[in-house]
A and B are shown apart, each in its own frame.
Chain A
């Protein structure tokens, strides 16, 4: 088994915007703001991965097949620096 990097681009398979604060261990911002979880089919990988919609993105722009990029954002500040996570950001690439 060998490790290999996955594509950093993909298209939206589906998404959901959560309006209620989830239970622990989720650590919501205070005050809570709705957030969107996106299911993305990574380009050429034949694989669907979940991730949150990136910080400033607008979920109303999403549709099945919409192109997104993988971005890295901070999940929380750990004792030894920020802990990061992948998120998805809509992009201007033409929809396929």
Chain B
């Protein structure tokens, strides 16, 4: 089977710039092409990650970016999987290369977001669970993050200080990342002193919404060799799994879980399955992973991911964190980019941004936040996230 590599990665810095999302996407795309040493005219497939907040051009992002870069006749796709959009876009590009239907694919995601809570689409849409959860319950996104955080406190004895430690750790890592929006080092006390948003989570436990853009150039391994692409990184796995019935965890934007009174729940819950599918495809295990980027929509959620990805057993994440294992300088740094805590979320770009970070980490190009394993860069890294409406997302890269 054709091996697929990342030939180039690029980003537009995250912020609250208030400009058109296309601008961020183009910036990231051009940077990724430069990074690969390839031209726009080399690209024969473009996948755009859709944004649902920027009108029609956002729904046809592949066409929007292709037209903005200058029509070349390249094939295109546009896709949306909420927070998991980037992984879905990568999956489309990768499988098309594997099938021999294209050699060079450009994957782009970018977003311009409003201030404050992400809200459902406007209108009186009484058949839309995303609209209803706000209308009937006031169940904002942080409400769901708070459910999971509270479970950790009740079941495993986690404290607000544990959650604050995640934020403090990630803020130290992200402080030197030129693409991060928040480059301030926060202390645990800063987090605890910030107001509650969705108790037990404080303002500084919860990620903001941001503008940003990220892009990747994917090619076949042969093409990268033929064109002397410097330092390509192998895409060892892309997982885009969905839940298996019955999903017994309450998830956005649902009002209820599936009932498990008739069918036995799957052995691996959805969030475990996301990473497991990646490990299986890459023929690797958690013990092989040397760096990770996980979706810290809340600080507490990062702890859940340690367990979902098999970095430790259930209820052991707080200890892994306290022991420094997941900080820069530890044996398995998590979110060396600074994570969503430092970036805020630019939905269709975020899963790609995770992959950009792992790419640079594996290439040893991450500057002051470079993960060091006894004098060498990490050899394998994983990303993980989950998009609402049942979208899993995990990518493993190796070198």
A19 close to B155 (CB less than 8 A): no
Contact A14 B143, beta carbon cutoff 8 Å? no
Q: Judge whether A26 and B198 touch: CB under 8 Å.
A: no
Q: Considering residues B117, B198, B254, which has the most beta carbons from chain A within 10 angstroms of its beta carbon? A: B198
* B120 & A25 in contact (Cβ 8 Å cutoff): yes
> Given contacts A37-B137, A46-B260, are A24 and B154 in contact (CB under 8 A)?
no
Cβ-defined contact, A64 with B154, below 8 A:
yes
List A residues 9-68 near B (Cβ within 8 Å): 13-20, 22-28, 34-35, 37, 39, 45-52, 59, 63-64
Contact of A14 among B119, B150, B197 (CB under 8 A): B150
Q: Judging by beta carbons under 8 Å apart, are B136 and A85 in contact?
A: yes
CA distance A16 to B149 in the complex (A): 9
Question: Of A19, A24, A39, A49, which contacts B198 at CB under 8 A?
Answer: A19
> Which A residues lie within 8 Å of B116 (CB)?
23
Check: B146 CB closer than 8 A to any chain A CB.
Answer: yes
Q: Can you name the residue of chain B whose Cβ is closest to the Cβ of A49?
A: B256
Minimal Cβ-Cβ distance residue in B for A23: B119
Query: Which residues of chain B from 170 to 204 have any CB-CB distance to chain A below 8 Å in the complex?
Result: 195-201
Question: Does residue A75 face the partner (Cβ distance < 8 Å to B)?
Answer: yes
Whole-angstrom distance between the Cβ of B139 and the nearest chain A Cβ: 5
The residue in chain A whose Cβ has the minimal distance to the Cβ of B118 is: A23
Q: How far is the CB of B35 from chain A (nearest CB, A)?
A: 38
A16 near B136: Cβ-Cβ < 8 Å = no
The winner among A16, A20, A46, A52 for most chain B CB atoms within 10 A is A16
Given contacts A39-B250, A46-B261, contact A18 B134 (CB under 8 A): no
Whether A19 touches B195, Cβ cut-off 8 Å, given contacts A46-B260, A47-B256, A85-B136, is: yes
Q: How far apart sit A48 and B146, CA to CA, in the bound complex (Å)? A: 16
Listed by A's residue number, 24 A-B pairs whose Cβ atoms lie within 8 Å are A13-B147, A14-B146, A14-B154, A16-B142, A16-B198, A18-B140, A18-B198, A22-B117, A22-B119, A22-B134, A23-B140, A24-B122, A24-B134, A28-B138, A37-B138, A45-B259, A45-B261, A48-B248, A50-B137, A50-B139, A50-B250, A52-B137, A64-B155, A75-B136
Which B residues form the contact surface with A (CB < 8 A)? 116-117, 119-120, 122, 124, 131, 133-140, 142-144, 146-148, 150-151, 154-155, 195-201, 248, 250, 254-261
Q: A23-B140, A39-B147, A52-B138 are in contact. List 4 more A-B contacts (CB 8 A).
A: A23-B116, A37-B138, A48-B257, A50-B255
